[in-house]
Amino acid sequence: MMLIHLYIHEHKAIRRLNVPINGRFACRVSPREAIEVEECAASWDFYNGYACSAIIGVNGSGKSTVLDFISAFDKDSESVLLAIFFDAKTDTYNFCYANSTPELFGDVRADKKFRQVLKVERFFAHNNVQVVSINTLPPASAFLAGVSEAKEKAYIKNLISGEVLKSEGRKKKYFDQIFSYLRNYPYAERLDEPCFGFSFPGAPQGMWDKLYAVLDRERFEQAAVSDVMRLNTISFELEDCTAHEVFHCLVRTNIPSILNLISKRAFGVSASFDLLAIAFFKYYVSPQGEAIHHKVELAVREVLRDMRLADEKLAAQGAIDELENNLLEQLWSIWDSYQALVEVILYQCYDGEHLNLKQVKVEDYGTITSLIDAINKLPRNLSAGITWGWQGVSSGELAKMHIFSQLYGYLERAASSARPIILIDEADLYLHPEWQRTFLSDMLRMFGLIEAYKPGFKPQLVISTHSPIIVSDFLARDITSINRDEFGGFTLGKSSGFGCSVVDIYMQDMHLSSTFGEHARRRLTHLIEAAKNNSLSEKDRELIAEVSSETVKGFLLSYDKNQ
């Protein structure tokens, strides 16, 4: 089942617009007059046997509205629309009406048999038609609180970014599909093996500098000071890991931040950091074998003991004892939080051979949420330096990964009998020009991979785009160019495609007045006029010298009699 034409009588801002979807068919709908449909071109293999088309136009030309045609069939919609489908198996046209009847459109003039479909939802279910929407940005409603949305129809599959992240269940499914795509799709390695990872770099360098300044000022033995400062350069590469080793690595690399936190919470003055740093240093270099987190506790106790001796009145009131209990409880809470974090890292991220705390790779949504939950239980100054997200992935790579992983997951799950119509809005958004160049080719390769084990599975692809690079992969007959006239109405324009240069498509189909940026165009126009009038100034000549194109530079200077 293939969508071949839309007639939008009234849908959102669009009125009375014929939108051809497949160039193999010539369709024309004239309300009160006739519906005309005929097959005007043979079916051939330009798109490897799949139906593909593109919708282009300037911003505000209604591309997204056209791709949202399916919402017109909702029972609460008041849009008036006619969608024409062609069933190759039965060689039949199917006219599907939204809030309308055949009487509105008059006679039917078709070169094949046809059916009038008023119960569209039943038609979709009977023919297993599924409309799959996907884009790289959430819809506007995703940013608005309190916007109610209708329950999704069985024949609509929303893979839009805002939709797939609406609940914990959907988030899990979304991440699982990305991981499945990266593991199983044979061409995913083109994205340079991106991964979701966590990095535990330890305390920032500024805090280590603060600790060193204190120890250096006290004139401690330099070798011992250097030994403490090596805590900042210990290896994050751990082998044969135990919970003990990972825990102590996290504590050691965050010592200055932990001391700074306790000093602020206990005393609120910078001098207390110095006292804690000095006390910690003495315990750290002592031959006693306490673990490093116990030495932090001993340092806190020593500072408070000195406070008791210095202020017997305050000590007698029990204030220092209460402060000590509070500080130790805070330290124990930090140790517990680190221990919980260690358990997740060790039992869900460690492969039994190697662990790098600066890049802990994760391939499971449950592990991601467990790590984030554990990190969020740490005090803010200890969690702030921990980073997580897609590593080695730009926004463009993430956009491509979103589209392809979601689509790959859907196509894998879809029944072999399904007839998907895949609608991709703003297909080029965030994509590097090279990925735009291979976008359709990569999509067709994915379709072929799925069809290899689902014979006869033929998705239809309809995209909107601003990219002349993507458009150049389509036959002109399969490109719909929508324009706005001077009165704000919608019209169709002539399209260029296969065999045309990117510059031609930019100028003709993308409705650009120039291929130069506007600022550069104005400067060049001034230089051309000045050159023709033999009135180039010295500053004009200096600007001409900055022109990268030798052809343009030579043209401008050819008029200059003073060169």
Cα Rg, the chain, nearest whole Å: 34
Look at residue 219 and give its three-state secondary structure: coil
Cβ atoms < 10 Å from Cβ of 59: 7
Interstrand relation of 92-98 and 113-117 (parallel, antiparallel or unpaired): parallel
Contacts of 212 (CB under 8 A, 6+ apart): 225, 229
Q: What whole-number distance in Å separates Cα of residue 497 and Cα of residue 472? A: 5
The pLDDT, as a whole number, for residue 114 is 95
For 377, other C-beta atoms within 10 Å of its C-beta total: 15
User: Is there a contact between 494 and 505 (Cβ–Cβ < 8 Å)?
Assistant: no
| Cα–Cα distance for residue pair 206/219, rounded to 1 Å | 20
Burial of 371 (0-12, 13-18, 19+ CB in 10 A): buried
- What CA–CA distance (Å, rounded) separates 90 from 386? 60
Separation of alpha carbons 510 and 186, rounded Å: 35
CB 443 within 8 A of CB 201: no
pLDDT number for residue 147: 38
SS3 113: strand
Residue 366 pLDDT: 83
Q: Which two tokens stand for residue 391?
A: 């590593």
Query: What is the phi/psi pair of residue 64, to 5°?
Result: -65, -35
CA distance 400 to 132: 17
- Sheet with 80-87, side-by-side order of all strands: 14-20, 2-11, 80-87, 92-98, 113-117
Residue 249 tokens read as 């690595």
Domain ranges of the chain: 2-194+395-508, 199-391, 518-557
Query: 439 and 187 in contact (C-beta within 8 Å)?
Result: no
Residue 187: partners with Cβ closer than 8 Å, 6 or more residues away? 442, 445, 446
Mean pLDDT, 10 residues at a time, over the chain (563 residues)? 93 91 93 91 82 86 84 84 94 94 91 94 93 67 40 72 64 77 66 73 88 84 77 61 81 91 72 85 81 90 83 69 87 94 87 79 84 91 86 73 87 92 85 83 92 93 88 89 82 76 59 64 83 85 83 74 59
Q: Residues 6 or more apart from 463 whose CB is under 8 A from it? A: 53, 54, 55, 423, 424, 425, 427, 470
In the chain, the amino acid numbered 360 is V
Which residues are CB-contacts of 266 (< 8 A; sequence separation ≥ 6)? 272, 300, 323, 327
A 10 A CB-CB count for 191 gives 21
Residues 6+ apart with CB under 8 A from 291: 248
Tell me which CATH code domain 2-194+395-508 carries: 3.40.50
